[in-house]
């Protein structure tokens, strides 16, 4: 149980640092409401897992639980798809850089051109030898 709480805290921390906590709550709310929500998955896992308490049905229950978890992770809107969507979005889309909010850059000092570049190369090579 402590690991679950640490994972939950890390998710909240990362969402807060990235400024995506409102998006996280909208995503969580969408997972528990609507026609295709997480409650159906939880009920299915509960029923199949509950069947595992009956000794002769335990191997069948384990097989179906494995199948449910694979389908949950590999489905189009499953855990992996939602995670990729969340990771792929930038943290703050409202503060796009423009010419007015970019920091000013100090210009470099002008450099005098070389009269003969080979003289500079030869002088550099001479100092190495």
Burial class (CB within 10 angstroms; exposed 0-12, middle 13-18, buried 19+) of 19? middle
Structure tokens at 103: 């920091």
The predicted-structure confidence for 69-125, as pLDDT tens digits, reads as follows: 888 777 766 666 677 777 776 655 555 656 666 666 666 667 666 677 777 777 777
pTM as predicted: 0.42
Largest CA distance in the chain: 92
Return the residue matching tokens 């690991």.
3
């Amino acid at each position: 149980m402590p690991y679950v709480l640490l994972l939950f805290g890390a998710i909240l921390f990362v969402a807060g640092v990235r400024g995506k906590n409102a998006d996280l709550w909208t995503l969580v709310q969408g997972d528990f409401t609507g026609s295709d929500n997480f409650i159906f998955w939880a009920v299915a896992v509960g029923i199949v897992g509950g069947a595992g308490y009956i000794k002769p049905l335990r191997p069948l229950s384990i097989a179906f639980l494995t199948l449910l978890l694979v389908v949950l992770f590999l489905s189009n809107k499953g855990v992996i798809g939602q995670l990729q969507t969340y990771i792929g979005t930038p943290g703050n889309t409202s503060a796009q850089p423009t010419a007015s909010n970019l920091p000013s850059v100090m210009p470099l000092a002008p450099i005098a051109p070389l009269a003969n570049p080979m003289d500079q190369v030869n002088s550099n090579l001479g100092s190495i030898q």
